[in-house]
Amino acid sequence: MSPDIDSVLNETRRFPPSAEFQARAQLSDPAQYERLYRESIEDPDAFWGRVARELPWQQPFERVLDWSAKPFARWFVGGKLNLSMACLDQHVAAGRGGRTAIVWEGEPGDSERYTYAELLAEVCRTANALKARGVKKGDRVALYMPMIPEIVLAMLACARIGAIHSVIFGGFSAQSIKDRVLDGGCTAVITADGSWRRGKVLPLKPVVDEALLGVKSVHTVFVVQRAANEIEWQSGRDVWLSELARKQSAECAPEPMDSEDTLFLLYTSGSTGKPKGIRHTTAGYLVGAYLSTKYVFDLRPDDLYWCTADVGWITGHSYVVYGPLANGATVLLYEGAPNQPHPGRFWELVAKHKVTILYTAPTAIRSFMRWGDEHVTRFDRSSLRLLGTVGEPINPEAWMWYRTVVGESRCPIVDTWWQTETGSIQITPLPGITATKPGSATRPFFGVDAAIVDEQGHEVPPGKGGYLVIKKPWPSMLRGIWGDDARYVETYWSKFGGRWYFTGDGARRDEDGYFWIMGRVDDVLNVSGHRLSTMEVESALVSHADVVEAAVVGRPDELTGEALCAFVTIGPGKVATPALAEALKEHVSKEIGKLARPAEIRFAEALPKTRSGKIMRRLLRDIAAGREVTQDTTTLEDYSVLARLRIEEE
Ligand code: WT7
């Protein structure tokens, strides 16, 4: 698709940081910021070397960056470092063991707290439990868990012993788990019996059982008891994690990890049907997560920081777990839905725990807007001092609502652009420095050399849309796709001849040099801030017996940003009925997970194609968005006439 993404936005409102915010901010002096930013671009070795030396190394690094095998970077070459030490031991050693690390609240209202010293002891016990079942350095461990403290324990325990975690979001189906377990060659799984969601128990262990049918590589399924739902037990394979952990020592020596040892895999959708196992390594990832958390969220010891993302996504990895804990922050973790038992639950949590920093997604913000201001305003929000958003472009209207209603016009908003692949925030305001504009992620973070270019790689002038690229390597960049180096090179580096990292996003810059992200330019959709590949959904649809062909496109949706619209042709003798449409939606949920459930199924006589047989997606997008004639969705529509007209035009 060509970047015909010139913007229609013309947002001129500006919100500079208040003097009150600046007075206490980590960074508030523009000259100091300019100096640091310039250094980070002109002398990245000096900049990143200094940041990295703030972390507790087991063995110092010899070289900051080796870019000789471009596009495969090696950062902090020769160093050894363990993430769990940076997140736990260093704080305890510095006398901060009594500080609260995690405040957790379950959906039913139960709660727990862990100090840094307690978290360290529990992580060690969990690490020893993993070891007791033979999990060792380099092994891949899949996590399919709810938002409970044990998911943090499990990740840090893996990091402590050098096992590679692969967290699978709890909304994925058995088939999606199976695909990920097989692709990663996982030998163990950590899960829970179930989780509380919208007042009900959502079973997890049964989904894992189904996923593992016929999977030979997994020797152990560690189960955390959370919801006390009835589950089946495979003796020899299944163990209660807490029972085993209780018997273990509260000490476990951190495995010395090379800077470039893999820390985790996290699967994300690309433009083909097969999700990619994005591979992040140890030191560079930590440096990126650590520094961005410190400056973007302006963390202070007295903050109560809440990132509402599920740990199953990259936002949860970097900004619920690793970044905040490396900074010694106090983190709120909440298990359940934002409207359970009432639409004000988030704001009740803010008031109850005196949350100071809140980081959430535009789709959530739009839901709160829809539910009504009164659910927000009836709770005290005077503790809030900073708001953040991530996951998709935020419309100026939602941004303004977030600022005025949630933040009482007092809190700066950081709209942070980044990706699973980038590991940490890349384009963002700094709250004590940047004058923000509603809808803009503003400027690149330290060390990020971002540009907007046309098809030929020429930088486009201000106001013009183009492809967003990153021109220099950065510490927390992905190091590859698990088991598929060629796909890594092809997906991210081939578009501009190996010169720059291609993000897959379109963007434009305004006269002030601010970035405005305009969304994906490939066959990737963003539904509620979750990335989905149209091909993945299409292959799920055609795996249904009644379906012959399917094309999935996105259409704008007020709440979820984009929604999935599927055009489907069915086999001879099959009848297009609302029941079949429903069955197909269910089928996709079953194959991939609820998050991929199409909002709309449209039956078609045939899909519109070009003369060379390519599906005319642009036409389908127009139809889905209501820009062309629409009809009853259960009649077989014939798009061939429209298609022929288009071909004549083009
Ligand atoms: C894609 C990455 C890493 C955060 C969670 C999503 C879109 C992300 C923004 C933003 C506009 C954004 C982009 C990006 N995106 N943040 N602040 N403004 N768009 O991670 O699943 O890897 O998706 O999300 O399209 O490429 P992800």
Per-position DSSP letters for 590-648, written without gaps between them: HHTBGGG--SEEEEEEE--B-TTS-B-HHHHHHHHTTSS----TTS-EE-HHHHHHHHH
**∠ CA 150-153-159, rounded to 5°:** 145
The pLDDT score that the predictor gives to residue 643 is: 66
391 lines ligand 1 (CB under 6 A): yes
5 lines ligand 1 (CB under 6 A): no
Q: What is the pLDDT of residues 255-271, one digit of tens each?
A: 999 999 999 999 999 88
| Paired tokens of 443 | 């400027």
418 lines ligand 1 (CB under 6 A): yes
Q: What is the pLDDT of residues 601-629, one digit of tens each?
A: 999 888 888 877 788 888 899 889 986 55
| Paired tokens of 378 | 């009836």
Could you identify the atom of ligand 1 that is nearest to the CA of residue 393?
11
**Percent with pLDDT over 70 in the chain:** 95
505 lines ligand 1 (CB under 6 A): yes
Bond into 71 cis (ω within 30):
yes
Residue positions counted in the chain:
650
441 lines ligand 1 (CB under 6 A): yes
> DSSP secondary structure string, 459-487?
BPPTT-EEEEEE-S--TTS--EETT-HHH
- Name beta bridge partners: 304: 330
Residue type at 217 in one-letter notation: S
> DSSP secondary structure string, 321-382?
IIHHHHTT-EEEEE-S-TTSSSTTHHHHHHHHHT--EEEE-HHHHHHHHHH-THHHHTS--T
Q: What is the pLDDT of residues 543-581, one digit of tens each?
A: 999 999 999 999 999 999 999 999 999 999 999 999 999
366 lines ligand 1 (CB under 6 A): no
Nearest CA to ligand 1 atom 19: 392
Q: Is 410 helix (H, G, I), strand (E, B) or coil?
A: coil
531 lines ligand 1 (CB under 6 A): yes
Look up the pTM and report it: 0.93
The pLDDT score that the predictor gives to residue 274 is: 87
- Is the pLDDT at 180 greater than 70? The verdict is yes
Reported confidence tier of residue 3, pLDDT bands at 50, 70, 90: very low
> Which residue from 425, 526, 527, 528 has its CB within 8 A of the most atoms of ligand 1, so it is best to mutate?
526
Looking at 67-81, 108-122, 384-398, 518-532, which range is the least confident one? 518-532
- Name beta bridge partners: 550: 568
The pLDDT score that the predictor gives to residue 275 is: 92
Residues 530 and 312 sit within 8 Å (Cβ to Cβ): no
Q: Is 189 helix (H, G, I), strand (E, B) or coil?
A: strand
Q: What is the pLDDT of residues 390-411, one digit of tens each?
A: 999 999 999 999 999 999 999 9
Q: Of 101 and 618, which is predicted with more confidence?
A: 101
518 lines ligand 1 (CB under 6 A): no
DSSP conformational letter for 427: B
517 lines ligand 1 (CB under 6 A): yes
Distance CA(641)–CA(634), nearest Å, equals 19
- The CB density around residue 20, as the number of other CB atoms within 10 Å, is 10
CA of 30 to the centre of ligand 1 (A): 27
| Paired tokens of 157 | 């325990």
Could you identify the atom of ligand 1 that is nearest to the CA of residue 428?
17
- Is the pLDDT at 2 greater than 60? The verdict is no
The pLDDT score that the predictor gives to residue 4 is: 44
Sign (positive/negative) of CA torsion 129, 134, 138, 143?
negative
DSSP conformational letter for 95: I
Helix (H) or strand (E) holding 386: strand 386-390
Q: What is the pLDDT of residues 281-321, one digit of tens each?
A: 999 999 999 999 999 999 999 999 999 999 999 999 999 99
Side-chain-side CA neighbours of 253 within 13 Å: the count stands at 4
Could you identify the atom of ligand 1 that is nearest to the CA of residue 314?
3
504 lines ligand 1 (CB under 6 A): yes
Q: What is the mean pLDDT of residues 85-93?
A: 98
Average pLDDT, the chain: 94
310 lines ligand 1 (CB under 6 A): no
314 lines ligand 1 (CB under 6 A): yes
Reported confidence tier of residue 31, pLDDT bands at 50, 70, 90: very high
Phi, psi torsion values for 159, nearest 5 degrees: -60, -35
- Is the pLDDT at 231 greater than 80? The verdict is yes
CA of 94 to the centre of ligand 1 (A): 36
Q: What is the mean pLDDT of residues 132-155?
A: 98
The pLDDT score that the predictor gives to residue 641 is: 64
Could you identify the atom of ligand 1 that is nearest to the CA of residue 416?
17
CA of 512 to the centre of ligand 1 (A): 22
CA of 441 to the centre of ligand 1 (A): 11
CA of 551 to the centre of ligand 1 (A): 23
Reported confidence tier of residue 634, pLDDT bands at 50, 70, 90: low
- Is the pLDDT at 8 greater than 60? The verdict is no
DSSP conformational letter for 159: H
Nearest CA to ligand 1 atom 23: 419
> Which residue from 515, 531, 536 has its CB within 8 A of the most atoms of ligand 1, so it is best to mutate?
531
CA distance readout (Å), 64 to 45, 52, 421, 424, 479:
6, 9, 20, 18, 15
Q: Is 176 helix (H, G, I), strand (E, B) or coil?
A: helix
The pLDDT score that the predictor gives to residue 181 is: 98
> Which residue from 419, 502, 518 has its CB within 8 A of the most atoms of ligand 1, so it is best to mutate?
419
CA distance readout (Å), 571 to 550, 606, 613:
12, 11, 19
DSSP conformational letter for 18: P
The pLDDT score that the predictor gives to residue 287 is: 99
Sign (positive/negative) of CA torsion 309, 313, 319, 325?
positive
- Is the pLDDT at 86 greater than 80? The verdict is yes
526 lines ligand 1 (CB under 6 A): yes
CA of 155 to the centre of ligand 1 (A): 23
Nearest CA to ligand 1 atom 1: 419
420 lines ligand 1 (CB under 6 A): yes
- Is the pLDDT at 1 greater than 50? The verdict is no
Q: What is the pLDDT of residues 436-453, one digit of tens each?
A: 999 999 999 999 999 999
Distance CA(37)–CA(43), nearest Å, equals 10
Domains of the chain, first to last: 19-83+283-428+443-518 (3.40.50.12780), 528-649 (3.30.300.30)
- Is the pLDDT at 648 greater than 60? The verdict is no
The pLDDT score that the predictor gives to residue 636 is: 61
CA of 520 to the centre of ligand 1 (A): 9
**Percent with pLDDT over 90 in the chain:** 89
The pLDDT score that the predictor gives to residue 138 is: 98
The pLDDT score that the predictor gives to residue 6 is: 47
316 lines ligand 1 (CB under 6 A): no
Q: What is the mean pLDDT of residues 49-64?
A: 98
Residues 533 and 272 sit within 8 Å (Cβ to Cβ): yes
Sign (positive/negative) of CA torsion 35, 36, 40, 41?
negative
CA distance readout (Å), 553 to 389, 525, 533, 598, 604:
25, 8, 10, 10, 14
The pLDDT score that the predictor gives to residue 645 is: 59
Distance CA(221)–CA(278), nearest Å, equals 23
Q: What is the mean pLDDT of residues 586-598?
A: 95
Which residues are within 8 A (CB) of 633 and not within 5 positions of it... i.e. 6 or more apart?
A: 581, 600, 601, 602, 603
Q: What is the mean pLDDT of residues 458-474?
A: 96
